[in-house]
Amino acid sequence: MRLIAANWKMHKTVSETQEYISKFLKFVEHPESREILLCPPFTSLYVAGKLLEGTGVKLGAQNCFYEKEGAFTGEISLPMLKEIGCSYVIVGHSERRHIFGESDETINRKLVACLEEGIRPILCVGEKLEDREAGMTFKVVETQIRLALSGIEEHIDRIDIAYEPVWAIGTGVPATPEDAVAVHRFIKELIKDLNPKSEGKTRILYGGSVKPGNASEFMKHSEIEGLLVGGASLDPESFAKIVYSF
């Protein structure tokens, strides 16, 4: 089943989250034909989890820490997220990598922790503009995936991957569907190489300036098995249009 995920980033208070979900659920009364995921900020996760109970819409976090507890001021553990209903966690988003300096080693440790706790991670990978212009897209993506999945290759079937070209995130200039498909095919072949038994069990999502007006162009390609939506997911009607764009 294709996965359509909303990454709200640092947007929406608790009251705004309540208002959003109340409106959004009216647009997606029968979500069985696709998997829908909302990823609010940490402060809204508890109330969002309560509002989404029994609706079929899944709850995810935008980040996590790899230790279960301890003296890690400001961090959130996976047991904390699991208890409030999170079934997904976004790991290694480009903003975590490039703004907050997360390394491939850190991302690997987070993936390991997700697998141990039974929460499905969405691993984000993607190249910067200078990488693309230098013809390094495949090399960058391959390096990120190999390092992130180091030592856990046998569990790839419990992980989804989001291809997010960094130069397209929030710029309003998405990759062309053809460019996205080429990278998705490459990732699929790489996953098959890392673990042949995982083929078809890891969904490859596209993210990067997805909107209601272009979502269907991406989703008409079988290689694109879902979307990770940023800005266009902040309005419930806009996100609902993306959810039902295919």
Instruction: State the catalytic residues.
Output: 93, 164
Whole-number Å distance between alpha carbons of 144 and 161: 11
Q: What are phi and psi of 90, to 5 degrees?
A: -80, 130
DSSP-H helix ranges across the chain = 14-27, 42-52, 78-83, 94-98, 104-117, 129-133, 137-148, 177-194, 215-219, 236-243
Helix, strand, coil share of the chain (percent; to 5): 45, 15, 40
β-pair partners for 87: none
